[in-house]
A and B are shown apart, each in its own frame.
Chain A
Amino acid sequence: MSTNAVAARPEAPPEANLKKQLKRADRLRKFKAIGLVAPLALFLIVVFVLPIGSMLWRSVDNTELESVMPRTVAGLQQWDGSDLPEEATLAAFAAELRDSRRGGGLGKVGRRLNYEDNQYRGLLMRTLRGLPASSENWTQTLIEIDPAWGETTTWREIQRASPPVTDRYVLASLDLERGADGEIQRIDAQNRIYQSVFKRTMVIAGGVTLICLALGFPLAYLLATLPPKTSNLLMILVLLPFWTSLLVRTAAWIILLQSNGLINQSLIATGIIDTPLQLVFNRIGVFFAMVHILLPFMILPLYSVMKGISPSYQRAAVSLGAHPFAAFWQVYAPQTISGVAAGTILVFIMALGYYITPALVGGPADQMVSYYVAYYTNTTNNWGMAAALGSILLALTLLLYLVYHRLVNRKQLIRS
């Protein structure tokens, strides 16, 4: 610090002023930065955070009944479940059922109650048709329309479907359900599917990633070491699939792999096999098509990392007496680890969400989680199940990513 500044201190103002100016400039810079980032942040919030948030919410959302039949729900909350609910509750139910047809409320309630028991949609429909304008005794009237209303289980199931939040979709996505007493139990063996679907999704995605790595690593190495002229040409061949639609590529694999397809025909013609091999509509077809589609996503990060590794390290290792393989494995390979990490995580996460390719070239035992998400979204309109399956897949992906991140980082630390 100069003596000038020390001397100036008693008259403090100029420095305070400077500080203020500095602060102001700082603030301005911050605003500018925020202003520049804002569009992207807004974009991310709108297309990423909000949809994911709403998906997570939907997987536990259970407000169908509450929104359409608030008084019935309130009445059933008081009910102890031993005898039939009070007359007032039933009257409220009758009134709300009549009003529910307007604005699609009935559909919501019917769909939701049908998850508890398949009979509800028909029961509500029959009841609505037979519902009189007024009644002295609604309990009596409802039972006359359909005796099911005289059973406590009918009402207990409605009560069970009433709370605004539910874990039924999340549990169902793990092949679990709540028993009669509310304890969590596994569903009947013949209906269990999602645990194996999640396992299958992981196995297929992991398998595709490993095959991509095994095929992509040597190819990327070749690309990085060849003279530019040849490597550019090869690079175009690697990128070529990017220019064709995914659907076309998948369909092309079906044509190649089917029983009378090119591959089977040429194998038979050369006498290697007698009867055609089943290469498509099973796991083999899924691996073929997915590896082909995802391979570039492995090669590109590997290539860009390998391009930056100087060949002199390996040469130095060899000149110091290392076996060429040791030089490659101990000197070269560790330097590619960030490319391997980027490539594998990219391919794995993309493979996790694959839908159309397994749907077209796989059999029923090769469908991944996204197939069931699409089924629930498009075919049955059960968005709770679709959201729950999606949420669990998201959680699993994040978990795996964290573990992977840890592992790769530690490895890099050890190597360095």
Chain B
Amino acid sequence: MKKNNLMRTRLARSVAVSGLLTAGLAASAGAQALTVISFGGASGDAMQKAYYGPFEEKTGIELTPGDYNGELSRIRAMVETGNVSWDLVEMESPEMVRGCFEGLFEPIDWQRLGLGDVLIDSAFDECGVGSFVWSTVLAYDADALEAAPASWEDFWNVEDFPGTRGLRRGAKYTLEFALMADGVPNEEVYDVLMTEEGVDRAFAKLDELKDHIQWWEAGAQPPQWLVAGDVVMTSSYNGRIAAAQEEGNNLEIVWDGSLYDLDYWAIVSGSEHVDEAYQFIEFASQPENQAVYSSEIPYGPVHPDAIDQLDEEQARRMPTHADNLEGALAINTGFWVDYGEQLEQRFNAWATH
């Protein structure tokens, strides 16, 4: 026991030392700059254009952008060693909720942010301010189907809409869609899923469709399968379908029954630039800046007015367009953080048999 503890303290110390070194290096690189970390890639480029550059220009606050892959462990190491070199981080919602629970982020003071309650509801969280909205939708190949499916009920209807379907391999999204197909109203989906009978009901509904499902895992697969003709309809991330549409494929999206979630801005606990971070969040939440971001990449703005500043065609592709939001359901992140492991295990056991 003792020995093990000793070993762990040593390990912790060496990790701390290396953390310190990295933090020190980062600190010396930009002593007074606000460090903003995003997921990079196409989204990061859009952020550069919409937020980073204009923010520096407007406020004169120097900004150090960086990217990462969403690992909470890196932030945990910083906070635990007390060497916080990141100020503002883009987080996916489960990690944001976990990190908030662990005290890794500053609780958001909504008074100080001065945004009122203009943003869409899910953009308000204890430790996070919504940044953009992505969505999991029903997408289909309009060339392969004679009639257009309109809901998850149609997705389950293999008589009128013959062909293989794609669903994400896992319990998340899949169970929600199954309940929707079984006639559960959107607002009751998570209440039903919290009960044992509700879970049984979802799996019973999945049993009906099991032989017609091809399971995807990577976000790139659904549009690829639709285009290749492997499946006639599938669940998919809306941004991926938009990209495939741009390439000239006749794919359609059903927004009714879509599940949306947000990426958030979170301020790392112990940051020395909390003020600047608040300024940045406020700047990035302005409709005109959000509109620039969303015109670069088809992720929805969290400020409802931003939609109006996009041209009609762009606006229609956003998960946050009023028409699209109407039948949509926000993913309940807290539910998946609590129940996820248990349901995924049941899903895996179900999928095997």
Contacts and interface: CB of A to CB of B under 8 A. Distances in A.
A299 B189 CA distance: 55
A307 interface: no
Interface string A361-389: 00111010000100100011110000000
B351 A364 contact: yes
A301 B79 CA distance: 51
B101 A193 contact: no
A319 interface: no
Given A118-B342, A190-B346, A258-B228, A281 B215 contact: yes
Interface residues of B, number: 36
B191 to A, nearest CB: 15
B228 A104 contact: no
A266 B174 CA distance: 35
B230 A121 contact: no
A125 interface: yes
B79 A104 contact: yes
B349 interface: yes
Contacts of A193: 345, 348-349, 352
Contact of B228 (A191, A259, A281): A259
A22 to B, nearest CB: 40
Given A118-B338, A190-B349, A365-B352, A57 B4 contact: yes
Contacts of B54: none
Contact of B351 (A114, A192, A360, A365): A365
A102 interface: yes
Contacts of B99: 107
Given A193-B348, A380-B341, A382-B341, A107 B101 contact: yes
Contacts of B346: 190-191
A366 to B, nearest CB: 9
A196 interface: yes
Interface in A230-286: 258-260, 281
A121 B229 contact: no
B351 A121 contact: no
A157 to B, nearest CB: 15
A121 B349 contact: no
A190 B199 CA distance: 11
Contacts of B80: 103-104
B198 interface: no
Contact of B215 (A57, A102, A196, A364): A364
A373 to B, nearest CB: 13
Contact of A164 (B1, B98, B342, B345): B1
A366 B96 CA distance: 32
Nearest to B337: A121
Interface residues of A, number: 39
A110 interface: yes
Contact of B338 (A107, A122, A197, A367): A122
Interface in A347-363: 359-360, 363
A196 B352 contact: yes
A104 B341 contact: no
B273 interface: no
Nearest to B77: A104
Contact of A107 (B98, B230, B345, B352): B98
B338 A114 contact: yes
Interface in A60-84: none
A379 B348 CA distance: 15
A106 B101 contact: yes
B304 interface: no
Given A107-B101, A110-B101, A190-B350, A122 B334 contact: yes
A121 B1 contact: no
Contacts of B72: 381
A364 B228 CA distance: 21
B98 A260 contact: no
A101 interface: yes
Contacts of A197: 352
A106 B79 CA distance: 14
A364 B230 contact: no
Nearest to B7: A54
B103 A104 contact: yes
Contacts of B230: 258-260
B104 interface: yes
A281 B214 contact: yes
Contact of A375 (B76, B337, B338, B344): B344
Interface in B52-89: 72, 76, 79-80
B308 interface: no
B76 A364 contact: no
Contacts of A125: 101
A199 B102 CA distance: 38
Given A104-B104, A107-B102, A121-B338, A192 B349 contact: yes
Interface of B: 1, 4, 72, 76, 79-80, 98-99, 101-104, 169, 203, 214-215, 217-218, 228-230, 334, 337-342, 344-346, 348-352
22 contacts: A57-B4, A103-B80, A103-B103, A104-B79, A106-B101, A106-B102, A106-B103, A107-B101, A107-B103, A121-B101, A190-B349, A191-B345, A191-B349, A193-B345, A259-B229, A281-B215, A363-B214, A364-B215, A364-B351, A365-B351, A372-B348, A381-B98
Given A106-B102, A365-B352, 7 more contacts: A101-B102, A107-B102, A125-B101, A191-B346, A196-B352, A364-B215, A381-B98
Interface of A: 57, 101-104, 106-108, 110, 114, 118-119, 121-122, 125, 164, 190-193, 196-197, 200, 258-260, 281, 359-360, 363-365, 367, 372, 375, 379-382
Closest 5 CB pairs of A and B: A107-B102, A364-B351, A101-B103, A193-B349, A104-B102
